[in-house]
Amino acid sequence: MFNFNPINAINSLAMDVDYEIPGGDEFRDITELFAQASAAMHSEQMIMMDGFSLHDAMSALEIGEPRLDTGMTIGTQRKQPFNPLTPLLPEELCWIIDRSISYEMEWHTSNQLVHTVFTLLYIHHFQEIDPDMLPYAHLLVRDPDRPLELVTVVLRAYVSGLLKSCDLAWRELVKGGVNDTEDWQADKCEVSLLEGWPVKAAIARLKEAIGWLMNTTKVPSNWRDALTLRLEFRLSLLKLQENNVFHDPATFRQLLFDARGLLSHIKVSTVPAPPENSPAHTAFDPYVARRLNTFMPIRVVELPPQEETWVKLQDWLDGWEELVTLAKIGDVSTWNIVGNLCNLLPTISLRPAYVRSSTQSAFFDGILVLNQYPSTWLVDRFFFETLGVHYNRIATFFGGPGSTRMRDVERSIIKTIVPHIRGQWFNPPRRRRHFAKEIFEWHVVYDILSIIITDLDYSTLSSRDSALVLASPLIPLYHRFSCMREIILSGFQLELYSANEKDFAYWYAAKIVEDQLNLLDKIIGVQVLLSVQETEAHQELHFQRVFLTALQIMCEAMFSLLVKSDVPRTQSWSQTRMNLMRRYKWAFLERYDDCETLPVGSPPRLREYLFDMSEVIDDELNPPSEGFSLAQSILSGLVESESNKPVPVFAGPSGRACVGGWAADWREERLKVLHILIETCENIGRVKDKSSCPKLKWDPKKSLWFPLLEESGRE
């Protein structure tokens, strides 16, 4: 165990000359050795060794490699032979449909098609169940309980709808908004998803099957209704996937309403599993991968209870509902806030990859923003939604929008904003990595604006215009601070930090928030000077100032609590320092040297961290519990003021006052974040002495960024 003295660590820091990420004294750089050895080789040239051929290298499979056992069939894996034209009972068909939906949802949770959807063997015998291609002998079979049309008409229509739904989802997912092998699995194993079929053909098959069910007397009424519900639900999903949320919002919303109603009826019509000797069990083969063209080892996907499948479908529909609401909103800040809230709230599960990709495509399809605005529109929103002043007014001082001096500014802003908003719908680890790269892009915008404003003759400008011009570089800096704060705090949600890193994370977050608060004071001062206090931009910055004040106090109190704790450190200062340099490598990029302005907020000042640690250790007058109590009071006041805020003229579609300026219809979600932090302050505020610190537990499913005191640790 190590309990390093911060004063000694400060002295050791004073001896350091460079702050590059160290490799440690135990390692030697051998890059040059390999470079010299391969200098005489040509590109793509290989070195051949006696007794070790290329074939040997490619055959060096790991012992126990699962793919070696792909073709092996053991007794428990042998099933009855599958005959696609075996007649089925209506309840058996219902069970097959429900099970196929479960497999479809498992594909949407990043499993392979070959382990999920493709286990339905009717997909691989699709042509054989075509009623126009039936062998004559099957037409002579008559079973009143098992009409063949259930397979050739109803099941075939459903399979066509299932495959077409997967095809439309695959086409959306492959656009690149989400990552193959990370958010979803793209391998189709050379199995057709009916790519050549128009969507209308699958819709026609489903309508034909629904019509047959409505008019037939061969199926009992209860099962006829159950099958009809499932076909109509698939039809609704297919239409939702085909329709663009912008082209006909009313139709899209009606389809969504219909799908919700159908799903609610399906959930209450439970289907029992058929007996073991039922032919329905042969319809699925979890080992079908051994007969398909795939490099993946066989993995049997255990299906969750059917109720969980309905919950996943409900989440899918909720994501579409959110997209419909967002599509009506032309405020980029609202999109940004909603993306943030989806990642913050522990009660909101990560949306399916298809929904997240659709949301990204709705924001920017590669040509237009929100299906109607050119990308240059983003530049105006960038300034207006933060400062409350349109871009034209600022650009006038530099030759106007599109001028030579402003072209680089506009290009950099567009290059940064589009990936930023789309990145809000990445999976959490990918989102954090994206922000770590993005903070440099925000610095580039800040650097360009800082250089441009130095060339202006301010003697010809009024005090208002001068303040406006000087405030323009502060806008990208504000967004840069927000990204840095999110990078640090999201590390707690992703459970990245070791026990030795947590106090530094809170310290660094507090410093970033402090810098951002100083920046907010300047921007708000300019807003007051420009008389834009009644705008959404001013309301939003006012909300952020109060919220960030409480957050800074919480981070400082948490830093103090951890530094004073009895939990011993398991690393020396030199090890801790190396780990911090690696953890925050995004703050030490050499690319900043290419810019004329120094980066603000990075790299972290390690010497200041040690000084603050020393002061906290010696401070006996300000217990951390007082900080949490103060933060709780500030947050409670913010909740009360925002809850009682009068409805402004710029209220959103709900007609209610939003929380802040740009939260629109996501008022309750934003208030939920505040309530969670209030409960956290109340919980941690019970820690009266350092002996309770070991009982603090970080659980991202229960709290935001901060730990909670276990029940046994409460007074």
DSSP string computed for 80-148:
PPP-TT----HHHHHHHHHHHHHHHHHHTTT--GGGTGGGBGGGTTTGGG-GGG--HHHHT---TTS-T
For residue 536, give every residue at least 6 positions away whose Cβ sits within 8 Å of its Cβ, in sequence order, or none.
Answer: 331, 333, 385, 388, 650, 661, 662
Rounded to whole angstroms, the Cα distance separating 259 from 233 reads 6
pLDDT bucket at 66, cuts 50 / 70 / 90: low
* Per-residue model confidence (pLDDT) at position 242: 93
Own/partner contacts of 561-565, CB < 8 Å, gap of 24 or more, are: 561/624, 561/684, 561/687, 561/690, 561/693, 562/502, 562/503, 562/506, 562/693, 563/503, 563/613, 563/616, 563/617, 564/616, 564/617, 564/624, 564/690, 565/690, 565/693, 565/694
Q: State the CB neighbour count (10 A cutoff) for residue 96.
A: 24
* Per-residue model confidence (pLDDT) at position 461: 87
* Per-residue model confidence (pLDDT) at position 130: 84
For the segment 154-165, the average pLDDT, to the nearest whole number, is 96
pLDDT bucket at 712, cuts 50 / 70 / 90: low
Rounded to whole angstroms, the Cα distance separating 183 from 312 reads 15
In the predicted structure, residue 513 carries a pLDDT above the cut 90: yes
Rounded to whole angstroms, the Cα distance separating 196 from 163 reads 11
Most confident segment among 196-210, 269-283, 662-676: 196-210
Structure tokens at 569: 């450190």
The percent of residues above 70 in pLDDT, for the chain, comes to: 87
The secondary structure element, H or E, covering residue 709 is: strand 708-709
Bridge partners for 52 per DSSP: 49
Rounded to whole angstroms, the Cα distance separating 21 from 500 reads 18
Cβ atoms 414, 375 nearer than 8 A? yes
Q: Lowest mean pLDDT: which of 145-149, 197-201, 426-430, 616-620?
A: 616-620
Tell me the per-residue pLDDT of 641-654, one tens digit each, with 9 for 90 and over: 888 766 555 454 44
In the predicted structure, residue 12 carries a pLDDT above the cut 70: no
Cβ atoms 500, 576 nearer than 8 A? yes
C-alpha separations of 201 from 124, 157, 402, 625, 640 in Å: 19, 10, 48, 66, 55
Cβ atoms 609, 629 nearer than 8 A? no
* Per-residue model confidence (pLDDT) at position 90: 94
Rg for the chain (alpha carbons), in Å? 31
Cβ atoms 506, 559 nearer than 8 A? yes
Q: What angle do CA 709, 579, 493 make, to 5 degrees?
A: 40
In the predicted structure, residue 76 carries a pLDDT above the cut 80: no
Tell me the per-residue pLDDT of 451-492, one tens digit each, with 9 for 90 and over: 999 988 888 889 999 999 999 999 999 999 999 999 999 999
pTM (two decimals): 0.86
3-state secondary structure of 698: coil
pLDDT bucket at 617, cuts 50 / 70 / 90: confident
**Residue, of 598 and 475, whose pLDDT is higher:** 475
Please return the burial class of 358, using the count of CB atoms within 10 Å of its CB with bins 0-12, 13-18 and 19+: buried
Of the chain, the end-to-end C-alpha distance in Å amounts to 29
Q: State the CB neighbour count (10 A cutoff) for residue 126.
A: 16
Cβ atoms 558, 624 nearer than 8 A? yes
**What is the greatest pairwise CA distance in the chain?**
98
Tell me the per-residue pLDDT of 562-576, one tens digit each, with 9 for 90 and over: 988 866 777 777 888
**Residue, of 132 and 439, whose pLDDT is higher:** 439
pLDDT bucket at 399, cuts 50 / 70 / 90: confident
Please return the burial class of 72, using the count of CB atoms within 10 Å of its CB with bins 0-12, 13-18 and 19+: exposed
For residue 184, give every residue at least 6 positions away whose Cβ sits within 8 Å of its Cβ, in sequence order, or none.
Answer: 107, 108, 110, 173, 178, 353, 354
C-alpha separations of 298 from 113, 122, 124, 294 in Å: 12, 20, 18, 10
The percent of residues above 90 in pLDDT, for the chain, comes to: 57
In the predicted structure, residue 46 carries a pLDDT above the cut 60: yes
* Per-residue model confidence (pLDDT) at position 715: 45
For the segment 13-18, the average pLDDT, to the nearest whole number, is 49
Bridge partners for 49 per DSSP: 52
Rounded to whole angstroms, the Cα distance separating 42 from 582 reads 35
Tell me the per-residue pLDDT of 162-172, one tens digit each, with 9 for 90 and over: 999 999 999 99
In the predicted structure, residue 294 carries a pLDDT above the cut 90: no
Mean pLDDT estimate for the chain: 86
Q: What angle do CA 295, 297, 301 make, to 5 degrees?
A: 125
Task: Give backbone dihedrals phi and psi of 680, rounded to 5 degrees, phi first.
Answer: -65, -45
Cβ atoms 239, 206 nearer than 8 A? no
In the predicted structure, residue 434 carries a pLDDT above the cut 60: yes
**Residue, of 155 and 44, whose pLDDT is higher:** 155
* Per-residue model confidence (pLDDT) at position 27: 63
Rounded to whole angstroms, the Cα distance separating 58 from 588 reads 40
Tell me the per-residue pLDDT of 319-352, one tens digit each, with 9 for 90 and over: 999 999 999 999 999 999 999 998 888 777 789 9
Locate tokens 């049309």: which residue?
Answer: 149
* Per-residue model confidence (pLDDT) at position 528: 92
pLDDT bucket at 580, cuts 50 / 70 / 90: confident
Indicate the domain borders of the chain.
Answer: 1-59+571-595, 87-319, 355-453+464-488, 497-567+620-715
Structure tokens at 492: 């707690």
* Per-residue model confidence (pLDDT) at position 19: 43
The secondary structure element, H or E, covering residue 465 is: helix 463-471
pLDDT bucket at 706, cuts 50 / 70 / 90: very high
- List the one residue out of 508, 519, 526, 510 whose CA is nearest residue 544: 519
The secondary structure element, H or E, covering residue 708 is: strand 708-709
For the segment 398-407, the average pLDDT, to the nearest whole number, is 87
Rounded to whole angstroms, the Cα distance separating 673 from 642 reads 13
Bridge partners for 373 per DSSP: 369
In b/e form, how buried is each residue of 658-691, taking b as 16+ CB within 10 angstroms? bbbbbbbbbbebbbbbbebbbbbbebbbebeebe
C-alpha separations of 220 from 214, 216, 226, 229 in Å: 11, 9, 10, 14
- List the one residue out of 217, 435, 245 whose CA is nearest residue 340: 435
Q: Which pairing describes strands 696-697 and 708-709: parallel, antiparallel, or unpaired?
A: antiparallel
Cβ atoms 561, 684 nearer than 8 A? yes
Rounded to whole angstroms, the Cα distance separating 692 from 155 reads 61
